[in-house]
Amino acid sequence: METKTESCNLTKYIKRGPDRWQHCPVVRGKTGRLKQDLVLVEGRIEHHPEGYYSLDWREGGRRHRMSWGKDAPAAQLALERHVATKRARAIGIAVAEGPCAASPGVEEACAEYLDETRLQRSPKTFKQYRTALAYFQENCGRRRLDQVDRRTLLDFRQFLADVKKLSPRTICTKMMVVEQMLKTNGRSRLLRRGDWPRYVERIPQAYSPEQLKLFFAACRPDDFLLFVLPGIRLPGEGSAVPHVAGHKPRGSAGESDGQACMRLLPQDLGGAGGAPSHSSCRKPPCPTGVGRS
């Protein structure tokens, strides 16, 4: 079951848990033939059809990984070619890289990465990843992963701004997806710090305590308020859902983690007493995207 040949290993990237993926050694038979989808996990042989095979080696003090798909014989052939090329170059023989020894194409790498994303991400996140990688393939065309460099990613950034008309924040998000896909396939650190789009996060405005006191004072005792803050992720949820601000009213039943809003009575929020004018309560002010009515 020895998988190390010279300075190169053959591993398979498998799913170990809900949010855990790991490169594990492959399993070989008595004749040395690679067994499809069998890997060693903490000394045990396990069957994992998900994931992909990859070459793992060190060169120039850095670790490199290159994906070779789901087919075990193709991965074994890639390992043998890699080792043979290293040995030939070590004794001074010039080796020309032929088409059969070329790295996988961008289209194939994106498809494999999306297969893994579908298993470990929510449907909404998967759609976002799929869109980002579709834009990348549209821009870079048919090329191999080893042909993707810093210039390719800078052109992709310009493509998103000029053709797709995306904001700097959205461009940054889509470039992060592409960078993660490249990193999974052993192509990392292509961009410099200044290559990323710059943007300024908007700070939402909020109602002041004085404004809230006036609003609560205008509400009747039997009125209720709904306070919703969008974009907060709750435990177990795959996408942003509304989140409740405030506390539970007196005498109300317990609330579940996924509830989108909460019924609040004025007395629970310290509303002013007396005889309030409740004309404004028929149509209370609703916060806009920046938190103001």
- Torsion angles phi and psi, residue 98, rounded to 5: -85, 175
In the prediction, which pLDDT does 270 show?
A: 46
CA distance 24 to 10: 9
Helix or strand run (H / E) with residue 231: strand 228-232
CA distance 103 to 53: 13
Query: What is the residue-level pLDDT of the chain in tens, covering all 293 positions?
Result: 444 445 788 899 888 877 788 889 999 888 888 888 899 998 899 998 888 888 888 887 788 887 777 778 888 888 888 888 888 877 878 766 554 445 678 888 898 889 888 888 899 999 999 999 999 999 988 888 888 889 999 999 999 999 999 999 999 999 999 998 988 877 888 899 899 999 888 777 777 888 878 877 887 777 766 655 554 444 444 444 444 444 333 333 334 333 344 444 444 444 444 333 333 334 444 444 444 43
Residue 100 is which amino acid?
C
Beta strands in 68-192 (DSSP E): none
Give which of 216, 213, 211 is closest to 278, Cα–Cα: 216
In the prediction, which pLDDT does 230 show?
A: 54
In the prediction, which pLDDT does 195 show?
A: 92
The structural domains of the chain, ordered by start, are: 4-101 (no CATH), 106-195 (1.10.150), 209-282 (no CATH)
In the prediction, which pLDDT does 136 show?
A: 95
Token representation of residue 255? 């609330």
CA distance 132 to 63: 27
Give which of 125, 118, 145 is closest to 15, Cα–Cα: 118
Asked if residues 215 and 285 have their Cβ atoms less than 8 Å apart, the reply is: yes
Percentage helix, strand, coil for the chain under 3-state DSSP, each rounded to 5: 35, 20, 45
**b (16+ CB within 10 A) / e for 105-142:** ebebbbebbbebbeeebeeeebebbbebbebbbebbee
In the prediction, which pLDDT does 19 show?
A: 74
Q: How far is CA 72 from CA 36, 252, 269, in A?
A: 5, 59, 64
CA distance 72 to 16: 20
Q: Which residue has the tokens 């170059």?
A: 89
In the prediction, which pLDDT does 90 show?
A: 78
